[in-house]
Structure 1
Amino acid sequence: MTIKHTAYATVDASNPEIDLENWLFGLSDDEYQACARGHHGAGTFTDEKGRGMVNTESVGGNLIIQHYRVVRAEKSFVEMYSAASRIFLFHLVPVTGAVRWTLTTTPKSTTSSTFACSVEVILPPVLAVLARTIVLGLFIRRHCEEETPNFAADIMRKHRKVQISA
């Protein structure tokens, strides 16, 4: 079973000025936590397999721990994939699922861009009924809708800081 939601926000910067790859891998734990109530922590790393990110969040009363690896990372497109995320249903029952997190920017005008944040949770078929019962899709949608404008605001804050420094 796959549950996916994409949320959108406007960033007041032209698309070539935004660098999602640098933004994501420069995101501090505090900045990540400030973007959604359910965000508990995040950190990036580099090892022999490349770059990755670990984050922990609560979505709809379920604790999710993701061990993301970069699938693709560019200025206007970042795709992260966690093949074996640990999901603790109701913070108690551990299950394994996969999570794909995709961030994109596309030109909206000469001075603004559309930022998109997609979260896709892939659960084993046996968990499909349970996921529907606890309305996991609704909670993923709410979480995405909360974090996306806050991610966009953080991107803009950092963009302005760079402009002032230049």
Structure 2
Amino acid sequence: MTEHQIVDSSFTAIINAPIEKIDIPEWCFGLSEQEYQSCSPAHIAAGFTTAPDGKRMSINVEVIGGSMIVEHYIETFGSKSHLILDSTSDVFTPTGRTTIHVTWELSVKDAGGGKCEFTNRVRTFATEDLLNFLARQGIPFDLFRAQRQPASIAHNQGETPLFAASIERAALGN
């Protein structure tokens, strides 16, 4: 799948709370829609449910690079300091609907002095659906990737410190 990777973007921010007060899965699966919206002007809606196999699931709606994306994140790994979510996400573009695969990874590590370093990593990959969608339009994958990366990277860079602030509020109970 790495040959069809679109983006691998990772940014960090400081959380002013001790690591023992952080619980990323609890934050993620309890995130109110208003709190999610406060973490980026591109965030439209959020909710949580369970997947058919009983795993926790976060549903996020956002607009990146002019395309609305509905993400169906299923928890694939979860500990208080590390969460990995995978989604085959619906992408609504001006030329139609397709899908991409997104892996969203959130983690914290102790930075000393009652602080943590938060990392927000997002990796996206082309699905067969996306490759066929691009081929029908005569768009080479490399061109699509080059055009998609700046918007995705900028989005991740902008939301990372706001996610960190939200996790900090949750950890400190305010």
TM-score normalised to structure 1 length: 0.88
One of 49, 54, 61 as aligned partner of 1:56: 61
- Residue 66 of structure 1 and its aligned partner are, at CA, apart by 0.9
CA-based RMSD = 1.7
Question: Hey, what does 2:81 align to over in structure 1?
Answer: 76
Judging changes above 3 Å, is the alpha-carbon distance between structure 1 residues 138 and 19 closer, same or farther for their aligned structure 2 residues?
same
Note the alpha carbon deviations across 1:79-115, whole angstroms, 9 max, x for none: 0001x2111234x421111011000001111311100
Question: Hey, what does 2:173 align to over in structure 1?
Answer: 161
Question: Aligned partners of 1:160, 1:17: CA distance in 2, in Å?
Answer: 7
Question: Aligned partners of 1:132, 1:4: CA distance in 2, in Å?
Answer: 11
Runs of 4+ in 1 over 3 A off after TM superposition: 124-127
Question: Hey, what does 2:164 align to over in structure 1?
Answer: 152
SS in 2 for 1:37: coil
Question: Hey, what does 2:44 align to over in structure 1?
Answer: 40
Question: Aligned partners of 1:99, 1:10: CA distance in 2, in Å?
Answer: 24
SS in 2 for 1:156: helix
One of 75, 95, 98 as aligned partner of 2:98: 95
1:132 has 2:160 as partner = no
Q: Point out where structure 2 has 5 or more consecutive residues left out of the alignment.
A: 135-140
SS in 2 for 1:35: coil
One of 92, 102, 108 as aligned partner of 1:105: 108
Q: Point out where structure 1 has 5 or more consecutive residues left out of the alignment.
A: none
1:117 has 2:130 as partner = no
TM-score normalised to structure 2 length: 0.84
Question: Hey, what does 2:72 align to over in structure 1?
Answer: 67
Question: Aligned partners of 2:101, 2:47: CA distance in 1, in Å?
Answer: 19
- Residue 130 of structure 1 and its aligned partner are, at CA, apart by 4.4
- Residue 48 of structure 1 and its aligned partner are, at CA, apart by 4.5
Amino acid at match of 1:16: E
SS in 2 for 1:129: helix
Question: Aligned partners of 1:85, 1:48: CA distance in 2, in Å?
Answer: 16
- Residue 21 of structure 1 and its aligned partner are, at CA, apart by 1.1
Alpha carbons 2:25, 2:79 under 8 Å: kept = yes
Question: Aligned partners of 2:73, 2:168: CA distance in 1, in Å?
Answer: 24
SS in 1 for 2:159: helix
Question: Hey, what does 1:142 align to over in structure 2?
Answer: 154
How many residue pairs get matched?
Answer: 159
Judging changes above 3 Å, is the alpha-carbon distance between structure 1 residues 15 and 155 closer, same or farther for their aligned structure 2 residues?
same
Amino acid at match of 1:68: Y
